[in-house]
Amino acid sequence: MSYFRVMVPMFVAAVMWVSSAHAMPESFADLAAEQADSVVNISTTQHAKQRMQGMPPGMQLPQGSPFNDFFNDFLRNMPQQQQEKHSLGTGFIISADGYVVTNNHVVDGADEVIVKMRDGTEHEAKVIGADSKLDVALLKIKAKGLKKVKIGNSEALRVGDWAVAIGNPFGLSQTVTAGIVSAKGRVIGSGPYDDFIQTDAAINPGNSGGPLFNTRGEVVGINTAIYSRSGGNNGIGFAIPINLAKPILDELKEKGHVTRARLGVHIADINKETAKALGLKSRDGALVPQVEAGSAADKAGIRAGDVIVSIDGTPIRKAHDLPIKVARHAPGDKVKIGIIRDGKAKVITVKVEAMPDEQTAQNGNSSSGVSKVRLGMVLENLTSDLAARLQTRVKKGVVVSQIQQGLPASRAGLQRGDVIYRINGSDIKNMASFSKMAGQFKPGDVLRVMLDRRGDQVFALIKLPKSKADR
């Protein structure tokens, strides 16, 4: 009798623990069936034109031959050969009237985007807007009465919770995989707004842009990346938290681009030596080694040497936390910045400003009157830190941080790390001056570009396409 008296309470306690810990469902079949019509396949086509390069095999002219110029001119004037690049991804429907979410990298540079429904119906999609920093894109198809997903709360996720991915890995449509939330807040080096959900639900090439569900069938993340040495799944996948993406998607739907807020400070993590020198009790917070002149932070009185420890009362543990928190505000918002200065804590109210020319920095062009042509490069302001790292002679300009192959910038020979400091004889001091000039670019223009490439002066001609077909 005493044995049962002891074991019955233990059994009840075990049942209660399993219940409170969300025991593994018997099956994910109901979830998969319920969400199947909300998950779509995305295929893209990018047209690229290429001229014949060099002499045909077996035909070589002696060095210095007078026919070299003839054949070079001949090859230059040959018709371009049309090539197509295809890629596959996944998306999910967020409204009954045809708005679809996917990754920016799935549709970036695409000339044609096709959304395929579960029943095989295909729709040509329009890219409403995209954000390369967070890697999300919003598409629109002409359809009504579609089954949309339910949006969940990624903040409520706990490490160890079940997670389900539905997608199009390797073109295998409607593939369902399950796992757990392995970690939250992962920084993988993809950009300033890294805050990924890590999961061991199998994610493979083709899953990009697809939904990550909780056990209630709510979208809590957008599957984006994997850690793999082989190219396949190793049980380490990453998803953008839906709470981080939702305000971005709302802004893309409303304006077609994203305008983020910023303070105008350079930040760094606090190491042991810095903490000791500043008399800090912990290494939490973000050190401000530099404040940009005239920025929102400068106007509010934040100084170099301050340590930012909170924003609107939310603690800042590491420097990486700050831009994520600031980006959740709209330009013009007043935010309370908690700092430590000379060992004393204080709070400064800052009216955050718009990040300069965010859309131009993402695309090298804009659909809002900034530029009428696609240059195919991602730009950012040249800072003193970047100038030192790139060993440039110029102190002002815009840095080429990414190049898209097959578009005007790459054709002109521009490279990552190049600093553009003059276009058509006019100085380019920052993104603002680049944006102003970009508004005057017209299809067919030839831009005379001066570059600083690790201290060397480089001249390039960027030939803008006369039409979309000339890309």
Q: Report CA torsion sign: 315, 330, 431, 303.
A: negative
Question: Of 236, 255, 274, which residue is a domain's last?
Answer: 255
Tokens 């469902």 — which residue? 25
Q: What is the pLDDT of residues 86-136, one digit of tens each?
A: 778 999 999 999 999 999 999 987 889 999 999 999 999 999 999 888 899
Backbone φ and ψ of 381, nearest 5° = -65, 145
Provide the β-strand partners of residue 131: 136
CB environment 382-406: b (16+ within 10 A), e (fewer): beeebbeebebebeebbbbeebbeb
Interatomic CA distance for residues 177 and 163, integer angstroms = 9
To 10 degrees, the CA torsion angle through 135, 421, 356, 371? Answer: -70
Q: Is residue 133 assigned to a domain?
A: yes
Judge whether 105 counts as a catalytic residue: yes
Query: Which residue type sits at 384?
Result: S
How much of the chain, in percent, has pLDDT values that exceed 70? 80
Q: Is residue 221 assigned to a domain?
A: yes
Annotated binding site: 105, 135, 206-208
Predicted confidence at residue 36, as pLDDT, reads 94
Question: Of 354, 385, 400, which residue is a domain's last?
Answer: 354
Is pLDDT larger for residue 458 or for residue 13?
458
Please state the pTM of the whole predicted model: 0.64
Indicate whether 407 pLDDT > 50. yes
How many residues appear in the chain?
Answer: 471
- State whether 376 and 465 are in the same domain: yes
List, as one string, the DSSP characters of 159-226.
TT-EEEEEE-GGG-TTEEEEEEEEEEEE--SS-TT--EEEE-S---TT-TT-EEE-TTSEEEEEEEEE
Q: Which residues contact 61 (CB under 8 A, 6 or more apart)?
A: 55, 67, 68, 71
User: What average pLDDT does range 171-189 have in this prediction?
Assistant: 92
Annotated binding site for substrate: 105, 135, 206-208
Question: Of 295, 320, 354, which residue is a domain's last?
Answer: 354
Judge whether 282 counts as a catalytic residue: no
Domain that holds residue 131: 40-54+69-140
Tokens 């999910």 — which residue? 92
Q: What is the pLDDT of residues 341-367, one digit of tens each?
A: 988 999 999 999 987 654 333 434 333
Kindly indicate the confidence band of residue 68, based on its pLDDT and cuts at 50, 70 and 90: low
* Active-site option among 38, 43, 87, 105: 105
Query: Which residue type sits at 45?
Result: T
User: What average pLDDT does range 181-185 have in this prediction?
Assistant: 94
Query: Which residue type sits at 413?
Result: G
Indicate whether 21 pLDDT > 50. no
Within 13 Å, how many C-alpha atoms sit on residue 336's CB side? 8
* Active-site option among 108, 135, 194, 306: 135
Q: What is the pLDDT of residues 275-327, one digit of tens each?
A: 888 889 899 999 998 888 888 999 999 998 999 999 999 999 998 889 888 98
Q: Any idea what the CATH number is for the domain that residue 430 is in? A: 2.30.42.10
Find, among 125, 133, 136, 130, the residue nearest to 211 by Cα.
136
Distance between alpha carbon 467 and the CA centroid of its chain, in Å?
Answer: 27
User: What average pLDDT does range 252-279 have in this prediction?
Assistant: 88
* Active-site option among 87, 208, 310, 435: 208
Number of structural domains in the chain: 4
